Chains A and B, each alone.
Chain A
Amino acid sequence: MNFFLAALMLGLGFVSLGLGIYISMRIFNIPDITTDGSYTLGGVVTAVMLTQGFGVGISVITSMLAGALAGSITGFIHTRLKINALLAGILVMTALYSVNLTLMGRSNLPLINLPTVFNWVWFAEAESSKQLVFFIITAILLCGIISLLLKTDFGLAMRATGNSEPMIRALGVNTDAMKIAGLALSNSLVALSGCFIVQYQGFADINMGIGIVILGLGSVMIGETLTNALNVQSIVLRLLGVMLGTIAFRLILAFVLSKGVNPNLLKLFTAAIVLVVVALPNLKRKD
């Protein structure tokens, strides 16, 4: 049971990641691989700052800003230097590996007996209930904030940028600047996820971001399969779908592991599950 509780918590901790990927992949139609690096960056910045004695709040904010910076660099390379978005993301992700390693000074940094965001949940006793409550509150809060943002005039302009660029340029939006802002927002959410997960698992690791973009993409896709099946249009519900997708993906992986699958094969299963989710709608269309 504890095993699945842990999976649920990880899933909730990844909601921020799912929302970030939703913004880059779905709102802006940009497959952003920066994610793998900015997730680690968020975790590394948090771990380094906490071990250096900085406060939890400032560490969280700084990790988000670091993610936003990484995202805006990708956005700049893509829009201003006219480099393909995939390549721009890979370039920044590759560069971030060295940045992360330099920041940590080693490949793994444990966080022992340090304050964490979970301490903010003063009303809960046990550490695991603090974590669970924290993850649930932040997941719902983030879904709420992002869906509100997407309903504002700025949010509508963001959505139109990914949907019909000629139209929104004719309506006075600098789409290059909008894409840079969007990738900054997306990667700050991804970094926030890294920040939370590092505090949850108690260490930062240079390899913690490998394959994270696929995990996020799979979560978004599972969520969309759900919302499409229910024919949901509203943005709030679609984002809730992303949240459920993130949790469901983690639970599926936990289930796979509980069946005695070698943990080394976890990434293989992750890729396979995403492939199935992505390919399923295409196969159905054929009949």
Chain B
Amino acid sequence: MSDNLKMIHLTNISKTFYPGTPREIKALKEINLHIEQGEFVVVIGSNGSGKSTLLNAIAGNIMVNEGNIAIDGNDVTRKKDFERSKYIARIFQDPFMGTASELSILDNFRLAALRTRRKLPIIGIDAQFLRTVKDKIAMLGLGLENKLEQPMGALSGGQRQALTLIMAIMDEPKILLLDEPSAALDPKTSEIIMQKAKDIITEFKLTALLITHQLKDAQTYGNRIIMLETGSVSHDLKGEEKAQLSTTDLVEWF
């Protein structure tokens, strides 16, 4: 029974960059990780520990050298990033990567709404779509719902990051990958974004992976925490054990 609940199944995955050269880096070493539906996993670790590589391996931005990756029971090991978007929505660290600045807010949302579908040569933005987007953006309470025709580039990083969160749920994903979503933002905006992300993950019962360097965030959010060290999982706590962790405990892990 529990096998059906596995949303992400990583079996023995390894990734080596520049193999056979002096620059060889073993970024991931035979990682086995099973993430269940609805788990909100916080990933911590020092720079170069393999956090981003892990996220990119799940998203399909990099192909693993060895091992298997299954999502929701489907083997996706050889699938490219744009094929895995069927299951996965991503929030990038850089808000400029997650949005197209020359396109209007509305156009960005149209594309986000089509994440799992083909982009056909038909005009998809109609009055109803406009209303849906307006309502969703109004939930943020930033007043952006009246600026839908503005180019995305006219907004601040925080506003753009907030919008990418809403864009992620335009077409309900199974998995949400967040790579330090608030690293480029000021402390106040950062907190708003993290809170919003948590609300969305809870409301839509998403399986989520969050990379963060903020130990406070690591302690506050998620119901499971893993720590990576030179490409291997060194700590893995969930449920009660995770809840009882203090930031001091986390500091000691490093």
Q: Is B17 an interface residue (CB 8 A)?
A: no
| Cβ contacts under 8 Å, B112 to chain A | 171
Of A8-16, A112-120, A145-153, A204-212, the one contacting chain B is: A145-153
- Whether B81 pairs with A169 at a CB distance below 8 angstroms is yes
Q: Is A168 an interface residue (CB 8 A)?
A: yes
- Binary CB contact string for chain B from 66 to 102 against chain A (1 if under 8 A, 0 otherwise): 0000000000000011110110111010001111111
Bound complex: CA of A163 vs CA of B61, how far in Å? 18
- Binary CB contact string for chain A from 189 to 230 against chain B (1 if under 8 A, 0 otherwise): 000000000000000000000000000000000000000000
Q: Is A175 an interface residue (CB 8 A)?
A: yes
Smallest Cβ distance from B133 to chain A, in angstroms? 14
- Whether A174 pairs with B82 at a CB distance below 8 angstroms is yes
Q: Which of B80, B100, B104, B151 contacts A168 (CB 8 A)?
A: B100
Q: Is B124 an interface residue (CB 8 A)?
A: yes
- Whether B121 pairs with A168 at a CB distance below 8 angstroms is no
- Whether B85 pairs with A170 at a CB distance below 8 angstroms is yes
- Whether A170 pairs with B89 at a CB distance below 8 angstroms is yes
Mind listing 22 A-B residue pairs with CB under 8 Å?
Answer: A148-B123, A151-B125, A152-B124, A153-B119, A153-B123, A154-B120, A154-B122, A160-B107, A163-B102, A164-B99, A166-B98, A168-B111, A169-B82, A170-B90, A170-B92, A170-B115, A171-B82, A172-B82, A172-B85, A172-B114, A173-B82, A233-B104
Q: Is B29 an interface residue (CB 8 A)?
A: no
Q: Is A157 an interface residue (CB 8 A)?
A: yes
| Cβ contacts under 8 Å, A169 to chain B | 61, 81-82, 85
- Whether B82 pairs with A160 at a CB distance below 8 angstroms is no
Q: Is B116 an interface residue (CB 8 A)?
A: yes
A residues contacting B by CB (< 8 A) are 148-149, 151-157, 159-160, 163-164, 166-175, 233
Interface residues of B in 17-65 (CB under 8 A from A): 59, 61
- Whether A163 pairs with B103 at a CB distance below 8 angstroms is yes
Q: Which of B81, B97, B111 contacts A157 (CB 8 A)?
A: B111
Bound complex: CA of A173 vs CA of B83, how far in Å? 8
- Whether A149 pairs with B82 at a CB distance below 8 angstroms is no
Bound complex: CA of A149 vs CA of B98, how far in Å? 24
- Whether A152 pairs with B121 at a CB distance below 8 angstroms is yes
- Binary CB contact string for chain B from 112 to 152 against chain A (1 if under 8 A, 0 otherwise): 10111101111111000000000000000000000001010
Bound complex: CA of A163 vs CA of B101, how far in Å? 7
Q: Is B110 an interface residue (CB 8 A)?
A: yes
| Cβ contacts under 8 Å, A157 to chain B | 111, 114, 119
- Whether A156 pairs with B110 at a CB distance below 8 angstroms is yes
- Whether B111 pairs with A171 at a CB distance below 8 angstroms is yes
- Whether A233 pairs with B151 at a CB distance below 8 angstroms is yes
Nearest-CB residue, chain B, relative to A162: B102
| Cβ contacts under 8 Å, B108 to chain A | 160
- Whether A160 pairs with B103 at a CB distance below 8 angstroms is yes
Bound complex: CA of A153 vs CA of B114, how far in Å? 8
- Whether A167 pairs with B114 at a CB distance below 8 angstroms is no
Task: Known contacts A160-B100, A164-B96; decide if A170 and B81 are in contact (CB<8 Å).
Answer: yes
Q: Which of B111, B117, B121 contacts A149 (CB 8 A)?
A: B121
- Whether B85 pairs with A156 at a CB distance below 8 angstroms is no
- Whether A156 pairs with B90 at a CB distance below 8 angstroms is no
- Whether A152 pairs with B123 at a CB distance below 8 angstroms is yes
- Whether A160 pairs with B111 at a CB distance below 8 angstroms is yes
Smallest Cβ distance from B81 to chain A, in angstroms? 5
Q: Which of A155, A160, A163, A172 contacts B115 (CB 8 A)?
A: A172
Known: A148-B123, A164-B96, A171-B112. 11 other contacts (CB 8 A): A152-B120, A152-B122, A153-B119, A154-B119, A154-B122, A156-B111, A159-B102, A163-B103, A167-B100, A171-B111, A174-B82
